[in-house]
Amino acid sequence: MRRYRVAIVERSEIIGEGLRTTLGGSASISVVGIYDSVASVETLASSCSVDVVVMSLALGHQLESSSIQGAVPIIGIQSYAAEEATIRRFSSVVSIYASAEEIIKAIGEACEQPQEHNYTESHELSERERDVLVLVARGLTNKEIASELNISPHTVMSHRKNIVHKTGIRSVAGLTVYAVLNKLIDSEQL
């Protein structure tokens, strides 16, 4: 089993230590430290001393001028409704309320996927992709979405892959925020 070296970037000591405790309980995770800024972990990322960075979405603005983006996967911890531009800076986004298993799974997936994103200038979703996205945001499973739209579960998975490719957002929480921010769904419908 591969052991991922994780750097946590978080200004809140309580959240940082909570993440360290949560992640430290996994045999596949080694927390290398808690840092208060992205600049603090740039040398770790460039020297391959860290496999993934887990950080607050609120610190996403620090990624703009950082060399860390593209060097290692960056997982955002979401505690508020962020703008699409902020969410797109991250390899993956998980909710602050996610279980340890969900966060660890996101770390593994982010580390195993290639870092280059092939976003096109136009990441406009098709009408059917928007339909699928709305149902994902409402919490339906692939099978339930297929039944609702009268399509096969395989077709739903294809649409979901296209949505991830076009938006760069992998997590359900991130896609839900995307749907709300782009007025595809009203937050009261969730």
Tens-place pLDDT, residues 107-141: 888 887 755 444 434 468 888 999 999 999 999 99
Domains with residue ranges and CATH for the chain: 4-112 (3.40.50.2300), 127-189 (1.10.10.10)
pLDDT over 90, % of the chain: 25
| Distance, CA of 70 to chain centre | 14
Q: What is the pLDDT of residues 16-60, one digit of tens each?
A: 999 999 998 889 899 999 999 888 888 777 677 888 999 998 888
The predicted structure's pLDDT at residue 91: 84
Taking the whole predicted model, whether its pTM rises above 0.95 is answered as no
98-130 burial by CB neighbour count: b if 16+ within 10 A, else e? beeeebbebbbebbeeeeeeeeeeeeebeeebb
